[in-house]
Amino acid sequence: MAAAAGLAACVQLASAQDCTPKHKFTTIAPGTLTVAVTTYAPHSFMDQTGTMKGIDGDIAADFAKRECLTVKAVAVDPAAAIQYILSGQADITTGDWYRTAERAKVMSLSAPLYTDQMAIYSKEGFKQVADLQGKKVGTVQGYLWVADLKTMLGSSLKLYPNSVNMQQDLFAGRIQVAVDGYSTGVVAAQKGALKDVKVEIAAPDDRVKATKEAAQAAFPYSMKATDLGQALDADIAAMHQDGTIVKILKSYGLDGTAADTGDPRLVQ
């Protein structure tokens, strides 16, 4: 990917007047939460007015509101987002970032926001991993389930660089079934892009770990920003408790079950 897709920045107000922050911490720019916003719907994107949106974006905006901060959203390429954190150009980044052991070596990760559920895309409405056997199956590179599906399906599994290319082959009949994130499918279905393809959350199966223990998404932030991290974790816990995160998930067409993250864990 290119270094940075753009620096189209916007200021999104967080009702700072007559506001008492829930916690005390510092940000890169005083009174402002600087967010590196990637484009990965429905998790993270900028709308036509330059406002940060998506599941992650709405959670970040709610955090800013609780802490009396103004949001400065900066549109960045996913390949550049982490560097924005490491170089001190952004406080957090949005985009369904997994809590992984490898990522945790170089930056801190907030408490879990939601889980990224594995889904099966098929005309038949398959829900079981066993339904994939004996069929030509496609999935996107980099997902947690890729290694397990390779072991299970061997040469019947085809890897794609992105969801768009995979869906094109699914519609053309070059593959019979696709495996992708559930949220991605919900957005595509809402736009009418999936035609007669059904999207179902994969039922738990011991052969594919991701069906039993989905990856947890988080906000990456600098290891130096300890106080920011404590505030993030406390407010995220409050958002889980008061139903804010479930409400945000449902506003993007999801059923809200992804908010049941379980205890924090790192993907090894």
- The residues spanned by each domain of the chain are 9-115+215-258, 118-211
Tokens coding 78: 């996913």
Same fold yes or no, 9-115+215-258 and 118-211: yes
Residues shown for the chain: 268
247, 169 Cβ separation under 8 angstroms: no
pTM above 0.85, yes or no: no
User: What are 199-234's pLDDT values in tens digits?
Assistant: 999 999 999 999 988 889 999 999 999 999 999 999
Instruction: pLDDT band for 189, please (50, 70, 90 cuts).
Output: confident
Mean pLDDT rounded to a whole number for the chain: 90
18 against 115, higher pLDDT: 115
Q: Is the pLDDT of residue 74 over 90?
A: yes
For residues 85 and 224, the answer to whether their CB atoms sit within 8 Å is no
CA distance 183 to 196: 17
Question: Between 6 and 31, where is the model more confident?
Answer: 31
The reported pLDDT for the residue numbered 79 is 84
In this structure, which amino acid lies at residue 13? L
Phi, psi dihedral angles at 52 (to 5 degrees): -65, 130
pLDDT tens digits, one per residue of 78-118: 889 999 999 999 999 999 998 988 899 999 999 999 998 89
**13 pLDDT above the threshold of 50:** no
- Report the alpha-carbon distance of residue 93 to residue 60 in Å, rounded: 9
Determine the CATH number of domain 9-115+215-258.
3.40.190.10
Residues 6+ apart with CB under 8 A from 168: none
**pLDDT, position 111:** 98
pLDDT over 50 (residue 16): no
Q: Which CATH architecture has domain 118-211?
A: 3-Layer(aba) Sandwich (3.40)
Q: State yes or no: pLDDT of 15 exceeds 50.
A: no
Q: Which of 243, 181, 226, 202 is nearest to 23 (CA)?
A: 226
pLDDT at 11: 44
Q: Who has greater pLDDT, 14 or 147?
A: 147
Instruction: Give the whole-angstrom CA distance, residue 268 versus residue 182.
Output: 22
The HSE-up count of residue 119 (CA atoms within 13 Å, CB side) is 23
